Amino acid sequence: MRDKTQLTRLETETVNAAKTRKPLYAARQKIFPKRASGNFRRFKWLVMTITLGIYYLTAWLHWDRGPFAPDQAVLLDLTNRRFYFFFIEIWPQEFFYVAGLLVMAGVGLFLITSAVGRAWCGYACPQTVWVDLFLVVERAIEGDRNARMKLDAGPWTARKLMLRVSKHAIWLVIGAATGGAWIFYFADAPTLVGELFTGTAAPVAYITIAVLTATTYTFGGLMREQVCTYMCPWPRIQAAMLDENSLTVTYNDWRGEPRSRHAKKVQASGQSVGDCVDCNACVAVCPMGIDIRDGQQLECITCALCIDACDGVMDKLGKERGLISYATLSDYNANMMLATAGGSSSINPSLVRTAVGTFCDQVAHFHIRKIFRPRTYVYMGLWSLIGLGLLYSLLTRDRLELNVLHDRNPQFVTLSDGSIRNGYSVKLLNMIPEPRTIVVTMQGLEGADMVVVGDDIPAGRSFAIPVEPDRLKTLKVFVRQPADQIHAPAQTFKFRVEDKASFESNEYAATFNAPEAAK
Amino acid sequence: MSDEHIDEVSGVSTTGHEWDGIRELNNPLPRWWVITFYVTIAWALVYTTAYPAWPMLTSATKGMLGYSSRKDVKNDLAAAEAAKGKYVAAIQAKSVSEILTDDALREFAVAAGAAAFKVNCTQCHGSGAQGSKGFPNLNDDDWLWGGSPDQIKQTITHGLRFASDPDTRLSEMPAFGDIITADQIAQVSAYVASLSGKVRDASLIQPGAKVFAENCVACHGDNAKGNREFGAPDLTDAIWLYGSGETAIAAQVRAPKQGVMPAWVGRLGEIKVKELAVYVHSLGGGE
């Protein structure tokens, strides 16, 4: 008898069966970069010292500008809307200099990238520099790669807790110093540092420090390579800057493959073997945690530490340096064609070497000439053009300016003796930190004279007026012309300002209006 | 679908979803990214609880912090009023001519007066105080009732021919159409016009001067320079409130138009009137 409870099993599967289910979100894989040593590491230390030195110390440099201006070499005085940079003082309307510098920085980035790849990312980007600094702290406290990995994997002991707490505490102090250094550019540094510690600084100062401490700590200490890989747009943009003649950090598999950990044994068996001994030194030092031997990839910031690591190994093995090196794609491709006999076989490193083991003549090496090509010429030309333009503009800019606004309502006033009066707002800009006496003169407009409202200056065609250092002075000036001198409803004339001491001068063409009937 | 499938090109495993042979790669998002997303949700909850946010049927939640932009504006306005306080107090304490001697105070009064002028005075005197026919131009140097700071203040305070103010400035030119003949009007008009310009028929000037001496000098003076006591205009200058030329003068002699200006002190208060006087004085004709 058939058992009614026995059911047939349906042939079906779930789309997300537990046994094959994949997580939608991946945890960050911890990276423990090993300390590298070599030429590029030394260069990076140097760049790091210079850039951090500039950032932390510039605000403390002094530059004497006399008694009427701050003596901080670099100062963004937002309250008074002035920007001081050593011998240069910029008013808000001159901010195009900063915009020009930013454009130059952009074009400069294109130039550098097209020539030597992501050098910005690898050496000078604040993210790279601060991560390097944070790694210095990490290594000093927890030790190098193996010690750190061991500590991380080990249980939470008092020692581990102590090491971790001190590491994070120092990171936070660096973060706070970073935020602190930032705000010193916006106020007198020695005064502000006193205010900071007595709790009398402006709330925005504390907020800025707090925000920058948090971002520095998070980006430099906790997120590190995640910032470059996931948050920064530059890795995506750089593809447009690179071409086959750009230098990038390259694993030269045309001499490295086939890699083998037991080269001698393999060689003895008659198979060809490359220079790569698969020691993974390049991977261990990589702050991005990638393997350069997989080729150029988005994550690579071209910090060149893998070159240092590999060069060290090659030195030990008595082989030529440069298994990993800065190379262009065109050189790399040429050498690959050589090593694969025109692409017909897998890599055979013996094809790039002579009988005595040196590289044969056909092997392409980078030549400095490659940097100079139309693309970089265009970038260099553009960069220099903007730079020269800014420089010219800076050297010839006016420090005594004049703006005149003609009263528009009413345009003119008839006075009781029949003469016509026009009103003007005359703005004198004394753009140097010295008090000056400015002589204002009228040119043209026969028979006319002018008076300054609210001043005891007698009517005339010229007057001298003191202007405070670094200030704009607005004068209300009435210009009057007798009826019999007026020959047109609109006459042009000039206001001229002159500093008799420095001989600087400026002019402004103004219009004098009169009623039609007064012609 | 239960077997793991690796995409050949990218070497990445797929989610197991397949549409017509197209598979979806499983590139997992960084976990911190999704945590950041949850943090923003949490932040949104905190923020919308702390600040006014959630719409209700007739209003919206007020927020735990009790913030409102109207309160902000109110505070800002109160702060602005407080900042003005010392100037306003000084203006109250000082006379108009004293205010003019203090640069900072004068600038403040000019700005405040300009604002009050735009609201109360432009209807007649124009937005640039340029006036029009029958409404005096306040920029020029011709004043019917005096152009000193205190005289201007007096005029604004009590007005002109303003019946309900006992201290108002008062004067009335008779309608000479009822007193002298049409010929005499033509003669006197020619004489007055000749004082500042050319006339059509020079033969009228001599008899006109006689008519003027008999009828007009009481108010306009022997030399026709006017008299500010009665607001009698100077007839020798280039400025004509009701138009220049013999025809316009004759019309004014026959049946004069006389302007009225309200007394402003009751409406604007002493301080605003002072500010207005400083502003009008600053327009270029002040004495």
- pLDDT for the residue numbered A1: 55
Please give the ipTM for the structure prediction: 0.81
* Phi (first) and psi of residue A359, to 5 degrees: -65, 140
d(CA A196, CA A496): 48
Q: How many CB pairs under 8 A join A and B?
A: 94
Q: Which of B89, B97, B106 is nearest to B153 (CA)?
A: B97
User: What is the model's pLDDT at position A343?
Assistant: 78
The reported pLDDT for the residue numbered A474 is 92
**What does the pLDDT read at residue A11?**
79
In this prediction the pTM is 0.81
Nearest CA in chain A to B30: A26
**Token pair of A217 as six digits:** 């700590």
Per residue in A426-436, pLDDT (tens digit) is 999 999 999 99
pLDDT at A351: 85
For residue B107, what is the nearest residue in chain A, using CA coordinates? Answer: A454
- For A277-313, what is each residue's pLDDT tens digit? 999 999 999 999 999 999 888 899 999 999 999 999 9
Q: What angle do CA A79, A428, A407 make, to 5 degrees?
A: 105
How far apart, in whole angstroms, are the C-alpha atoms of residue B158 and residue A204? Answer: 52
Mean pLDDT, all residues of chain A? 90
At A84-105, the pLDDT tens digits run 999 999 999 999 999 999 999 9
B121 known ligand binder: yes
pLDDT at A207 over 80: yes
Domains identified in chain B and CATH numbers: 1-67 (no CATH), 72-167+264-282 (1.10.760.10), 176-254 (1.10.760.10)
Residue A2 pLDDT class (50, 70, 90 cuts): low
pLDDT tens across the length of chain B (287 residues): 446 678 888 788 887 788 898 888 888 888 998 999 999 999 999 999 999 989 999 988 888 998 989 999 999 999 999 999 999 999 999 999 999 998 899 999 999 999 999 999 999 999 999 999 999 999 999 999 999 999 999 999 999 999 999 999 999 999 999 999 999 999 999 999 999 888 888 899 999 999 999 999 999 999 999 999 889 999 999 899 999 889 999 999 999 999 999 999 999 999 999 999 999 999 988 88
Beta strand residue intervals within A98-176, DSSP E: none
**Which tens digit of pLDDT belongs to each residue from A393-435?**
999 999 999 999 999 988 999 999 889 999 999 999 999 999 9
Q: Where are the domains of chain A?
A: 39-237, 244-366, 400-518
Residue with tokens 């005064």: A191
pLDDT for the residue numbered B168: 93
B2, B32, B140 ranked by CB distance to A414: nearest: B140
Q: How confident is the model at residue A237 (pLDDT cuts 50, 70, 90)?
A: confident
The SS3 of residue A88 is strand
Searching chain A, which residue's CA lies closest to the CA of residue B141? A415
Q: Which of A456, A443, A438 is nearest to A491 (CA)?
A: A443
Element (H, E) at A505: strand A505-513
Does A19 contact B at CB distance below 8 Å? yes
Q: Which CATH architecture has domain A400-518?
A: Sandwich (2.60)
- Indicate whether A270 pLDDT > 80: no
DSSP secondary structure string, A319-375?
Answer: --S-SEEEEEHHHHHHHHHHHTTTTTSS--GGGGB-TTSSBPTT-----GGGG-SHH
Token pair recorded at residue A348: 């055979």
Can you read off the two tokens belonging to residue A425? Answer: 């707002």
- Neighbour count for residue A65 (Cβ, 10 Å): 21
Residues in a beta bridge with B132: B135
B232: distance to nearest CA of chain A, Å? 15
pLDDT digits (tens, 9 = 90+) for A255-266: 888 888 887 788
User: What's the whole-number mean pLDDT along residues A449-475?
Assistant: 90
Q: In this structure, how many other beta carbons lie within 10 angstroms of the beta carbon of residue A96?
A: 12
